[in-house]
Amino acid sequence: MDIARTPSTPEGNPEMADAAESPHEPAVIRRSDYKPFAWRVPEVSLDFALGLEETHVTAVLAVERNPQADASPTIHLDGDGLEPLTVKIDGEVATSWSMEGNDLIVSLPGDAHQIEVTTKINPSANTALMGLFASGGMLCTQCEAEGFRRITFFPDRPDVLSVYRVRMSGPKAQFPVLLSNGNLEAEGDGEDGTHWAQWHDPWPKPSYLFALVAGDLIANSDIFNTVSGREVALNIWVREGDEGRTGHAMESLKKSMRWDEETFGREYDLDLFNIVAVSDFNMGAMENKGLNVFNTKYVLADEDTATDVDFDGVEGVIAHEYFHNWSGNRVTCRDWFQLSLKEGFTVLRDQLFSQDMGSAPVKRIEDVRVLRGAQFPEDSGPLAHPIRPDSFREISNFYTATIYNKGAEVIRMIRTMAGEEAFRKGTDLYFDRHDGEAATCEDFVKAMEDGAGLDLTQFRLWYSQAGTPKVSVRLTHEGDTATLHLSQEVPPTPGQSDKQPMPIPIKLALFDRDSGEHRGEQLITLDKAQVSLSFDGFAKPPILSVNRGFSAPIVVHRDISSDELVFLAARDDDPFARYEALQDLVVGHLKDAVDGSLDDAARKDARQAITSAIAAVLADDTLDDSMRGELLVLPSESYLAETMLVADPGRIHAERQSLRAAIGSALEPEFTAVYQRASQVPYSLSAEARGARKVKTQALVYLAAGNPDLAATMAAAQYDSANNMTDRQGAMMVLCGLEGIERTNKLIDFYNRYKGNALVIDKWFALQAGSMHPAALAHVKALADHPDFTMKNPNRVRSLFMAMAYNPQAFHAEDGEGYRMIGDFILALDPINPQTAARFVPQLGKWRRIEPGRSALMREQLERIAAAPGLSRDTHEQVSRSLG
């Protein structure tokens, strides 16, 4: 499953044990208490009589005692808001059942039985969008993590694997297309304008992978021939009129299928692969076996309505869900503590795929930016947890950047230490050894050890310890010997005060100052608290390039001069290390500026060094524009805050904007020239054209800071002449942060041009909510009353309020208005969609790292939310943990 992603920054880049204590406090589930379920459920038959307001579900479960579990005289079937209409055992109406809270408890005297339960649900009333829900006249399911229990009573846990047969019937005019997992067995017409379809999935799966879609849809269809010669029918189902925007998604699917065969040896295993685009969806997409359900945001794309970032998002999410067919479906997770087993591994797989489809260095920088923007703050805050948690109360709150993005980095480190060939042997062994099983993170690590020939005993600490390691780096020189001094510290996190040193693979190179060359990249493993390494043959102190390629998810504190950073920013042959040197140069200056330690001369010198480095990036003919665009992006305000013990968001924003304005003013001719040169490149999806659009937008951003009037004129002209959404949105983004009539005119034109296209109107909301305009909060308030805004659509909610929550200037308004607005919003959304509401809490949860005035205002909102009656479990847990 792909979690809904963090909104873009203004630059357009991705920035079973204790009893419940109260309705807010569900039982704590602990990994150490895991026990196999007492019953197996090898076969499930489901019959759906479909209706938007009333759907009847008849579930027939073949159950048998599990010889690997403790025997039980009853079977516990999870439910959520259900009432059984009938319960039968072996065909007879049963009386030996009872309700325990939401759950159905059935007494079973023998070793094997057939249980039949009938329920009735109202999909239209399901605003939480979990289970079976209605979306624009169609029916759809979302069952991960615990949504299946909202459809019927079932042992809704990932280690219960079943073969499903599904029959659906309903009005043919209303639901002409009936889809479920697996292969279509039969279909036909019924009486009174109804029809039916029967589906069978031959592969055992957990209930969270069940899927059903019924609606009026049209398909973009194609064929894929697998490496063994199987012909697979591919369909991307959308509403009529949207099929013209599915071509990129179809090509991305076929590329993903071929890449997984060639890179990981994984072949698709059904005769049919369906994708359905749904307008109302909490997540990005869901990997249900053979029937992937997608947020429309990650399916629909053409040049007029989708940016280059959107095209990348479609390709990456399509790949992610397809790759789950093996890393998640064929091998699933034993329990939800093992969530990173499938998600971390699959994120790595989709990252490697995207690297191969485009620029590997640029993709690596983008992934690190997401990690630092979302996961590093999580690791340093009250919600910190290991990639394999020890306990939870509400599993939906653990679909986090730690599970996904840090989980991917942990497996990437195994790949780095093993090498690509040995890593492939390890993954082959993992898939072969655990095919058809519910596995654990330990199973994966053991397969890596056995297949790749590694000793990962100490490495297992990455699975159990939370927090981002801090690595201090110092290089000394004496005679012709350079000595590298390394030390590591894993900071305390909630529930984990004392940490052990972890093995950290670090790629490094030592540059000769005169020649500008190095003797080759080296990989070392820092597995102790401190270590010193000597390197001979350096008559002069070399310049250290460290954590090249971001070989480990760590924070590096290095004793290095600004001159050496300028050298690396200009000459390092590792693209990420070059990017990192420029970032460190800027971060160091802005930290000094924010804490007030710079006098005028020091400020001038630092800005001149940074400006010179940016000028070198603009003039470097060896760089492609895509990489040039990445090097021009200043560190985000949230990342700058992470580098400080206590952050003052107002000072950070002011200093960062001041630096950008200084660079934009000093290099106005250079930025103008780059902009004009890039504007001559015709539109296409080629790497050259995409890079040109990226660098053109970055040039506008700097010019808007240094010369707003000039930038407004250029942006307005770009908007008027744009023949693609990347250029139009880039211009609109710059204008949204400026005063003037052009801003108003273009916003009106943008809305009128695209009204009725929900995904583009989402952009219209987000551009205003995420803008640098001083009145952004007032704009958000007005937009919340706009006729096109609704609290029931997660995309629309995120486009306005998540964009504002990730807009540091607006969210951290000194008077606390941004905090109050998000507090009000969470309380309003929680009764409608608690899962989405809970995802807004972590922004307020950063209060401990913020200066005292704002910190008190943030905590005040958390306390107000915590005191609200009837708060959902999702939101209550997030607020409680945030308050500590």
Catalytic center residues: 321
In single-letter form, the type of residue at position 340 comes to: S
Q: Is 513 helix (H, G, I), strand (E, B) or coil?
A: coil
Q: Which whole-number Å values give the CA distances from 44 to 116, 331, 662, in the listed order?
A: 10, 19, 66
Q: Which whole-number Å values give the CA distances from 704 to 23, 348, 695, 770, 778, in the listed order?
A: 51, 37, 14, 16, 22
Please name which of 327, 428, 314, 407 lies closest in space to residue 685, comparing C-alpha atoms. Answer: 314
Within a 10 A sphere around the Cβ of 173, how many other Cβ atoms?
10
Rounded (to 5) percent helix, strand, coil in the chain: 45, 20, 35
- The helix/strand count (H/E) of the chain reads as 31, 31
**Cis before 145 (ω within 30):** yes
Round the CA-based radius of gyration of the chain to a whole number and report it: 28
Phi and psi, residue 288, nearest 5°: -40, 135
Torsion, Cα 128 133 134 135, to 10 degrees, reads: 60
Please name which of 376, 297, 301 lies closest in space to residue 639, comparing C-alpha atoms. Answer: 376
Within a 10 A sphere around the Cβ of 616, how many other Cβ atoms?
16
Taking each helix axis from N to C end, the angle separating 758-769 and 725-736, rounded to the nearest 10 degrees, works out to 30
Between CA 568 and CA 127 the distance in angstroms is 52
In single-letter form, the type of residue at position 55 comes to: T
Compute the C-alpha angle 503/584/416, nearest 5°: 30
Please name which of 252, 312, 322 lies closest in space to residue 14, comparing C-alpha atoms. Answer: 312
DSSP state letters, 576-639: HHHHHHHHHHHHHHHHHHHTT---HHHHHHHHHHHHHHHHHHHH-TTS-HHHHHHHHPPPPHHH
In single-letter form, the type of residue at position 516 comes to: G
Between CA 439 and CA 189 the distance in angstroms is 42
Token pair of 855 as six digits: 């910190």
**Maximal C-alpha separation, the chain:** 93
DSSP state letters, 125-150: G-TT--EEEEETTEEEEE-TTTTGGG
Please name which of 838, 278, 369 lies closest in space to residue 631, comparing C-alpha atoms. Answer: 369
Token pair of 441 as six digits: 């993170």
Q: β-pairing, 131-135 with 138-142?
A: antiparallel
Residue 264 and residue 326 in contact, taking contact as beta carbons nearer than 8 Å: yes
Q: β-pairing, 438-439 with 332-333?
A: parallel
For 518, residues 6+ apart whose C-beta sits below 8 A from its C-beta are: 509, 510, 511, 512, 542, 545, 573
For 310, residues 6+ apart whose C-beta sits below 8 A from its C-beta are: 297, 301, 725
Token pair of 69 as six digits: 């579990």
